Amino acid sequence: MTTYPLPVTADIFPLLPEIVLVGGAFALLMLDLFLDSRRRIVTHLLSLALLAIVLGMVATGVGGQGTVFSGMFVRDVMADVSKVAILLVSALSLLYAWPYLRERNLYKGEVPVLVLLATAGMMFMVSAGNLVMVYLSLELLALCSYGLVALNRDDGLSSEAAMKYIVLGSLASGLLLYGMSLIYGATGTLDLPSIQAGAANVADRTLLLTGMVFLVAGIAFKLGAAPFHMWLPDVYQGAPTPITLFISAGPKLAAFGMAYRLLEGGLGPMSPQWQLLLAGLAALSLVIGNVIAIAQTNLKRMLAYSTVSHVGFLLLGLAGGDDRGYAAALFYAISYAIMSAAAFGAIVVLSRQGFEADRIDDFKGLNARNPWQAGLVLCVMASLAGVPPFLGFWAKLVVLAAAVNAGLVWLAIVGVVCAVIGGYYYLRVIKVMYFDEPVGELPPPRSDRVVPVVFSVNALALLLLGIFWNPLMAWCQLAFA
CB atoms within 10 A of CB 167: 11
At 442 the pLDDT is 59
Angle formed by the axes of helices 131-149 and 241-259, to 10°? 170
Say what the pTM is: 0.94
At 443 the pLDDT is 63
At 243 the pLDDT is 94
At 4 the pLDDT is 43
Cα angle 472-476-479, degrees, rounded to a multiple of 5: 145
Digits of tens for pLDDT over the chain (481 positions)?
A: 444 444 444 478 999 999 999 999 999 999 988 888 778 889 999 999 999 999 999 999 998 899 998 889 999 999 999 999 999 999 999 999 988 888 888 888 889 999 999 999 999 999 999 999 999 999 999 999 999 999 888 888 888 999 999 999 999 999 999 999 999 999 999 999 999 998 888 877 889 999 999 999 999 998 999 899 989 999 999 999 999 999 999 999 999 999 999 999 999 899 999 999 999 999 999 999 999 999 999 999 999 999 999 999 999 999 987 889 999 999 999 999 999 999 999 999 988 877 788 899 889 999 988 899 999 999 999 999 999 999 999 999 999 999 999 999 999 999 999 999 999 999 999 999 999 888 766 566 667 788 999 999 999 999 999 999 999 999 999 999 8
